[in-house]
Structure 1
Amino acid sequence: MPGGWQGRGGSAQVFAFATMHIYAAPSRSHLGAAMNPAARLLANHPFLVLALVLVLIVAVPRLLPEGVDARDEHGRTALMVAAMAGDAEAVARQLRRGADPRAREPCGYTPLMRGAQSGNTAVVGQLLEAGAGINAADEAGFTPLMVAVRRGHLAVVEQLLAAGADPAAIETSTGGTALIHAAQTGHEAIAERLLAAGADPDHRGQTPRTPAEWADHHGHRGLAERLARAAGDGETE
């Protein structure tokens, strides 16, 4: 397992326990004839003992729930790391082992947010099927949809909206919405998809700017005009 991982039954604890008992065992010269065959076999074959220790080091952490959701030095589980890397095979493997799809990093990020960040629709689909919170937000109020929007992952945006992501969710740091993030980053196709899903083109958040004004502020003139028309036409549900 990767260095820095912790949890009950972790590799370091297993190794310490096993080696302590190996070196605390009596030497072969003190073993009596009453030893059972298994004990005699281990006493005469120290390399077999070491092989068994290695098996314990690898197997025990995998059998314990705490091992599955153990955290690295950044507070991430193996599932989070796999989702962030966009590794669908590793995500599937961790989910089969019982990893928690609703676990959170110290900042509040979830595996689904990491999957949305990666842009891999297979990863996002697996996490949604496993019960990941589609609108679960981090400490700043960012949702998986907002993460996908800022990264420009149109396919993931469409996937999340189809699965029930809320286009009107408001993040707490600035009061921004997914549409405002699309306006700031200039993702026109994503903005169109959000408008079609009912995003509010008039929402200002905690700033005086509308999505159209944000787009114009960042130099996205065509998108600014489109959003201004949407606001004027009342393109909301």
Structure 2
Amino acid sequence: MGQDADQRLVEAVHRDDGAAVEKALADGADPDAGYDRFRSSVLAVAAHRGNGEIVDRLLRAGARVEAIRPRGATPLRVAVAYGLADIVRSLLRHGALTVEPAGRGSVLTTAVSVTSHRSGPAHLAVLRLLLEAGAAPAPGEEEPLLTAVMLPHVPPAVLRLLLAHGANPDQRRSDGAPAIVVAARRGDHAQVDVLLTAGAAVDARDRHGRTALMHAAERGEQRVVATLLLAGADPGATGPDGTTAPHLTRGWPEPHEGIKPGGPRNAWDEVPVVRSAVRVTPAGVRLDADQRLFRLLADVIGRAVASLGDEEWTVRTGMDADLARAFATRLRDGGIPSADRAWHRLDITADEHATIHSALDALAHGRADVPDRLELVDLLDELRRQHRR
């Protein structure tokens, strides 16, 4: 009778038939019955299908809220991913947050990350429920505010929600970069504005002594520059190397009105600029950076090839390992200085451009222990944004 009832429960969940679910449970069906050969729980399946009525029936019958099959997503994580606020609320009431397995990242970080590509009211409601329930990032994860500003297309409403639930607008990433600097270098003027409205320090500096205005100016992010200047950012602020925001506009055809270098042209010709940005100009491809960044990219390629091994590198990227190392040698030579020494330039092929992306991705998101991982994440994000323009 039990196995027959279990099968009828599985079929009822599959049909979204609440009455049949109730009947099967009354007949002795196991509320933790396996749905398929992978032993997915019927509760996880009901959550995935978005059937709140069946989820509630199973929970009342004693279904466990943790995952049944190894590495299977918990019902809570499934409901969070699909923005099912009512189901999330029911699962939280039954202690789902306390039994989330370790080692997979927090459900809170998942909820923030999902808003990068699913940013409707339902996902905001789910994030609000988790925050109200006291959800927290897992050890080693960035704070949710930093996760939000590091991802593309996260709407300002997510930041406002996090700030309303106690996030610090001056929160610093694990490498010391303030949230406003991270948002500025990614060109997100709306996020910058939300942080400033919440009281973020407009001239906060990263570990290199650079302000948000310096990063925005260097990348030609006009709307971010305007937002920062309106909030009182100091265009004359000087970095440890003597660099100011006007220095960093050099090489852009139309620097922002508020931070034009000014002065005689030849006064700028002998001022070297330490770069934190790589600029890609689709003319072949032309790669613009400074010599330090060229050397960094060369090291990244060398480390990625060495970490993966020649064969795996070739399989994963479709590129010859020896050619990648030869390109790294060219990068290490530092490129050719531009006429005003604002940038160093190197003409590269499309395959070499792809080599940079592949190497950055392998180290930034791979399993190898990389001490400067966040800098590589920033560089990869910057190159991808330019590629999409």
Give TM-score, length-normalised by structure 2: 0.40
3-state SS of paired residue (1:223): coil
2:141 is aligned with 1:79:
no
Q: Residue 199 of structure 2 corresponds to which residue in structure 1?
A: 164
Q: Residue 33 of structure 2 corresponds to which residue in structure 1?
A: 50
Alpha-carbon offset, residue 78 of structure 1: 2.6
Contact (CA 8 Å) 2:225, 2:256: kept in 1 or not? no
Q: Deviations over 1:167-192 (max 9, x none)?
A: 111111x1111001101211122112
Alpha-carbon offset, residue 80 of structure 1: 3.4
Distance of 2:240 and 2:101 partners within structure 1? 37
What is the count of residue pairs matched by the alignment?
Answer: 187
1:185 to 213, 216, 219: 219
Distance of 2:114 and 2:147 partners within structure 1? 9
Contact (CA 8 Å) 1:182, 1:190: kept in 2 or not? yes
Unaligned runs of 5+ in 2: 1-23, 35-40, 44-57, 67-74, 77-90, 264-389
Contact (CA 8 Å) 1:149, 1:190: kept in 2 or not? yes
CA gap 1:126/1:68 in 2 versus in 1, 3 angstroms: farther
Give TM-score, length-normalised by structure 1: 0.62
Question: 1:65-214 to 2 correspondence within 5 Å?
Answer: 65-67=97-99, 72-73=104-105, 77-85=109-117, 87-88=119-120, 89-97=122-130, 98=132, 100=134, 103=137, 106=140, 109-116=142-149, 117=151, 118-172=153-207, 174-214=208-248
Distance of 2:110 and 2:101 partners within structure 1? 7
Contact (CA 8 Å) 2:169, 2:179: kept in 1 or not? yes
Distance of 1:69 and 1:175 partners within structure 2? 39
Distance of 2:226 and 2:31 partners within structure 1? 64
Contact (CA 8 Å) 1:182, 1:191: kept in 2 or not? yes
Alpha-carbon offset, residue 53 of structure 1: 7.3
Contact (CA 8 Å) 1:183, 1:191: kept in 2 or not? yes
Q: Which has the higher contact order (CA 8 A, sep 6+)?
A: 1
Q: Residue 227 of structure 1 corresponds to which residue in structure 2?
A: 259
Letter paired with 1:160 = L
Distance of 1:124 and 1:100 partners within structure 2? 17
Distance of 1:75 and 1:206 partners within structure 2? 40
